[in-house]
Amino acid sequence: MAKAANKSFEQLGIPLHGVVYRDGNHWVSHCLELDIVGQGRTPQSAFKNSLEMCMVQIEDALAVGDLQSIIRPAPAEYWALFYRAARGPKLCDHGARRPVDSVEFRELCPAD
């Protein structure tokens, strides 16, 4: 039964969105669909760290056939930051692995 569920989950195609912003001396990257946060010294390293954590969570959930257990949207204020950052640089992973369909994180610039 779990193998059948995994196959259907892998065919879904999950889009991941996030916002990357400065917090003191570090950058924070927040995945909005999974409410997973990564940190780094640059926007790119924070993005990479949070994306890797997302993939680990997704792979673990697929292994037990329970992808729905990790879908926890971030609080509304982080979604608002994502939309405020529309003018900022976009950090995308064009090599996303299934079941992730697309990845778009936006960097919130200080002027935003």
Q: What tens digit of pLDDT does each residue of 9-37 get?
A: 556 678 899 999 999 999 999 999 999 99
pLDDT score for 96: 59
Domain containing residue 69: 2-107
CA-nearest of 102, 99, 80 to 90 is: 102
As a whole number of Å, the end-to-end CA separation of the chain is 48
Residue 112 lies in a domain: no
Residue 6 confidence (pLDDT): 46
* Residue 74 included in any domain: yes
Indicate if the pLDDT at residue 1 is higher than 50.
no
Q: Which two tokens stand for residue 15?
A: 């889009």
- What phi and psi values does residue 4 have, to the nearest 5 degrees? -65, -40
Instruction: Using the predicted structure, report yes or no on whether residue 49 has a pLDDT greater than 60.
Output: yes
Tokens of 21: 């912003």
Asked whether the predicted pLDDT for residue 4 surpasses 60, the reply is no
Report pLDDT digits (tens) over 55-67.
999 989 988 988 8
Q: How many separate domains does the chain show?
A: 1
Specify if 92 maps to a domain: yes
Q: Does 48 have pLDDT greater than 80?
A: yes
| Residue 68 resides in a domain | yes
